[in-house]
Amino acid sequence: MTVVIPVWLARRDHISLSPAATVPLILIQIAGLCLMVVGIALFASTLRRFATEGKGTLAPWDPPRKLVVHGPYRYVRNPMISGVLIIILGEALVLLSTSHFWWFLTFFAINAVYIPLLEEPMLQSRFGDAYSEYRGHVPRLIPRFTPWRPEP
């Protein structure tokens, strides 16, 4: 999502990484780079939580066995997807590419449909009431401002 498709788009549209010629565009590229770092950190932290707290991975054949509700999961139910979205948006800004921005919007739309239709029902059946309570307090893709604190 963050490598293969963006590279394909860049090759298709003959986009290369080059510094912008004006200060405002350079600042946009710097902001994009910062977003990419934040997205990578968010993605990496969710992978670590899946392994340590959830006792699983992001692979469908080895999903977390425990519901993960700490760390970035206290702010948003899908921080891994949020991290990927942030990376893709950062790539669009760094490359000053409208096609990469369209990819960001497309990926957002795909997940806005996929998550509630397929992923959330599976999580509901796997984790039951614990997931229902979590889902009632934590938004799907856009983070809340304060962390949700599950009751012990």
Q: What is the pLDDT of residue 108?
A: 96
The answer to whether position 11 is within a domain reads no
- For position 14, what pLDDT does the model report? 94
In a domain, 77, yes or no: yes
Whether residue 23 is contained in a domain is answered as no
Please, what is the average pLDDT of the chain?
A: 94
Count the domains in the chain: 1
Q: Check residue 58 and give its pLDDT.
A: 86
129 domain residue, yes or no: yes
User: For residue range 17-40, what is the model confidence (pLDDT) as tens digits?
Assistant: 888 889 999 999 999 999 999 999
Q: Quick one: CA dihedral 73, 78, 82, 83, positive or negative?
A: positive
In a domain, residue 45? The reply is: yes
The whole domain housing 84 covers 33-137
Residue 146 lies in a domain: no
Q: Which residues of the chain register pLDDT less than 50?
A: none
Residue 1 lies in a domain: no
Q: Is residue 109 in some structural domain?
A: yes
Residue 11: its pLDDT value, please? 94
The per-residue pLDDT for 131 is 96
pLDDT of 4 reads: 94
